[in-house]
Amino acid sequence: MAFDINMIKEVYSKFPARVDAAKKVVGKPLTLAEKILYAHLWDETTEKAFTRGKDYVDFAPDRVACQDATAQMALLQFMQAGKTKVAVPTTVHCDHLIQAKEGASKDLQNALNVSNEVFNFLQSVSDKYGIGFWKPGAGIIHQVVLENYAFPGGMMIGTDSHTVNAGGLGMVAIGVGGADAVDVMAGMPWELKFPKLIGVKLTGKISGWTAPKDVILKVAEILTVKGGTGAIVEYFGPGATEMSCTGKGTICNMGAEIGATTSTFGYDDSMERYLRATDREDVADAANEIKEYLTADPEVYANPEQYFDQVIEINLSELQPLLNGPFTPDLSTVAGSEMTEKANANGWPLKVEWGLIGSCTNSSYEDLSRASSIAQQALDKGLATKAEFGINPGSEQVRYTAERDGILEVFEKLNAKIFTNACGPCIGQWARYEDPKNAPKNSIVHSFNRNFAKRADGNPNTHAFVASPEIVAAIAIAGRLDFNPITDKLINENGEEVMLDEPTGWELPPKGFEVKENGYIEPSEDGSGIEVVVNPNSERLELLTPFRPIGHKVEGAKLLIKAFGKCTTDHISMAGPWLRYRGHLDNISNNCLIGAVNAYNKQTNFVKNQLTGEYGGVPDTQRAYKAAGIPTVVVGDQNYGEGSSREHAAMEPRHLGVVAVIVKSFARIHETNLKKQGMLGLTFANESDYDLIQEDDTFNFLDLDQFAPGKQLTIEVVHADGTKDIIKTNHTYNQSQIEWFNEGSALNLIKKENA
């Protein structure tokens, strides 16, 4: 039986009536995304049709999920909210703090030794406040959610950008910062700008070496890393219904890489099969009763241009295996000769040193079975892997079942390392090098989602390419980035030419899923007697002190850094070794913006201190400004804050004294995180004004006392020679968000309202 089945049945009992009411108000057929959104309005009475990309709307998500790295700050904030129990079903998953190095058992034990303080904190807070807890080793949050909690037509939020994975089971699942999660956990409405809608019509059928991963790699090529910003991507068409549920999850998962709010598919037979295979017959039966409401109205898919803001069509029968990268997930190359040309032209190493399969994106039973079919061929045909091989199963259920069925043994016979059921290399938790900064130039291939510089192993010279698990397996065997398994031959140990056959596998395990210990701990019914203890001398955990309001008079603010080019949340708040400080705001603030490139010298972590004229690290320089009581401003380029949902990228500058971030454009989650922490997130009204900002600039906010929705803010920029420029900035704050600013943070407002 499913977790929270009564909640799911309650959602379904109201779903048809709420959708029907919305259709009357909107006056036209609805997409699936619209049905789910209107069915989850905080105010159950639908009185208006919302304008996409404009109206801010209050929603009532069904559940919340948190991973251990982001859960620390989310739960530290929730502890201040004055609540005795979470208002909606919530789970915590320990998957980020396990470093891949030697193999599953040793790596897991090492994580328990190193991070036990954090795990105990998360478990005790979960136990106290009614939160389900998944132990270290239980699995990667998004795979565990898909197997246990996701349900068609539901709405959930999660403190990880790849929460969107649950769209593979027909949800609207959205990645958020911890402050957003606190709102929902505290029983308050969750606010989102009503998304635009992008429709992706899939025709034809995937076959041969092409996989669902190639669909999203192609979409990323078409839309780029910011093309989905502010939109929900809805997939449909005969190619969509032919695809497995976990294949759909892969596509939705990497929708985070195009900036999409989320992605989703309509409920179909593959989802029903998956629900039943994962012991959720009750959910499948309930979904079948309202099946027509769990997909778009027929008119929508028949004439998609009339109902979506943008429509893309992809013929799966013509789609070829792709590799995306390096350093960005939207640079797409067809496997084979096209890669040879690009690699030679750009100096990408053609020799591949590692092939990695797993992560939240591609760690299902189907993924492992198809990749293992390639590995088995290597054994049968006398081939050895030229690259090293690593496998991260998605959950203990997947791992146990794959081991039972002999899948993992095939990989092990090729000397692959089976890592823990955790994120590992995908998020930089990979002990590959003793000295990552000075590691050599090299190429790796993986089935993960992100490939920013230093993302996997901390080495800025690692060229990471994203591909399907089966292509990763083939390239790891060949050892060459430009290997095309469709056309290219390999020489085996006997000197014979051999070719790899097309991959085969199972959508679902033929003998069914099986697991002995799934790693779940049910919370206490009454947690009032549970004490959550945080050692005041801990370097890992620190109770939060509420932020003070910035106020409406900001003058003499100094430029901290003008970031040049791509500045993701990895650049603003790195992961890897810094994950250990995710629960200690002051300590982790020592990584604030150390990866951002200074526009004036093109160096990282080297900025001018206007008080001394000397250059130093960003955190040290900012702490000097804070000690002097001087506010500061950060300036950025396009799509500032893309990537992970980590709210530390907003909390660290706020904690250190940054008052405003002014950029050409924001990634959605980061902009919201800045707002939640009571900061100013502004965009240049004229993007070319970015070029006006000089290294010794001082900023005076001229009309912040008139801060209002839709009203530009005017800033006087004073240069070192005494000259001035007046720049106009835009913002997307509504009145409620301005109240967050006025109170110092959204959490301060929650506490005030609960007092």
Which residue in the block uniquely carries the two structure tokens 């990552």?
Answer: 436
- Asked if 63 is an active-site residue, the reply is no
Cα 279 to Cα 65: distance, rounded to the nearest angstrom = 20
Selecting among 161, 589, 644, 645, the annotated active-site residue is 644
Q: Is 550 within 8 Å of 653 (Cβ atoms)?
A: no
Cα 69 to Cα 465: distance, rounded to the nearest angstrom = 25
Helices and strands in the chain, H and E counts: 24, 30
Cα 609 to Cα 382: distance, rounded to the nearest angstrom = 61
* CA dist list (Å): 176 to 72, 248, 567, 644, 735: 14, 21, 19, 9, 20
Selecting among 463, 646, 655, 731, the annotated active-site residue is 646
Phi, psi (5° rounding) for residue 530?
Answer: -85, 130
- Asked if 95 is an active-site residue, the reply is yes
Q: Is 685 within 8 Å of 729 (Cβ atoms)?
A: yes
- The residue ranges of DSSP E strands in 177-308, in sequence order, are 190-193, 196-203, 231-236, 262-265
Cα 754 to Cα 749: distance, rounded to the nearest angstrom = 9
Cα 658 to Cα 596: distance, rounded to the nearest angstrom = 15
Which residue in the block uniquely carries the two structure tokens 């959508």?
Answer: 507
DSSP state of 597: B
181: helix, coil or strand?
helix
- Asked if 450 is an active-site residue, the reply is yes
Residue 159 CB-density burial (10 A; 0-12 exposed, 13-18 middle, 19+ buried): buried
Closest C-alpha to 35, from 307, 319, 414, 252: 307
Phi, psi (5° rounding) for residue 575?
Answer: -95, -125
CA 700, 704, 705 angle in degrees (round to 5)? 125
Selecting among 160, 297, 405, 457, the annotated active-site residue is 160
Q: Where are the alpha helices (DSSP H) in 551-633?
A: 569-572, 585-588, 618-627
Selecting among 4, 62, 68, 95, the annotated active-site residue is 95
- The residue ranges of DSSP E strands in 513-586, in sequence order, are 520-521, 557-562
* CA dist list (Å): 179 to 182, 676, 698: 5, 6, 31
Residues 6+ positions from 668 with CB-CB distance below 8 Å: 229, 230, 259, 261
Selecting among 63, 446, 450, 648, the annotated active-site residue is 450
177: helix, coil or strand?
coil
CA 261 vs. chain centroid, Å, equals 10
Query: Residue 751 — left, alpha, or beta (φ > 0 → left; ψ -120 to 50 → alpha)?
Result: alpha
- Asked if 160 is an active-site residue, the reply is yes
Task: Establish how many alpha carbons lie within 13 A of residue 211's alpha carbon, considering only the half-sphere containing its beta carbon.
Answer: 31
Cα 736 to Cα 691: distance, rounded to the nearest angstrom = 32
Q: Which contiguous run of DSSP H or E holds residue 288? A: helix 281-289
Cα 232 to Cα 605: distance, rounded to the nearest angstrom = 36
Cα 315 to Cα 321: distance, rounded to the nearest angstrom = 13
Q: Which contiguous run of DSSP H or E holds residue 662? A: strand 658-663
Phi, psi (5° rounding) for residue 131?
Answer: -110, 130
At position 311, the amino acid (one-letter code) is V
Which residue in the block uniquely carries the two structure tokens 């105010």?
Answer: 43
Is the previous residue joined to 509 through a cis bond, with omega within 30 degrees of 0?
no
194-227 burial by CB neighbour count: b if 16+ within 10 A, else e?
Answer: bbbbbbbbbebebeebbbbbbbbbbbbbebbbbb
Selecting among 18, 40, 63, 96, the annotated active-site residue is 96
Active site residues: 95-96, 160, 450, 644, 646
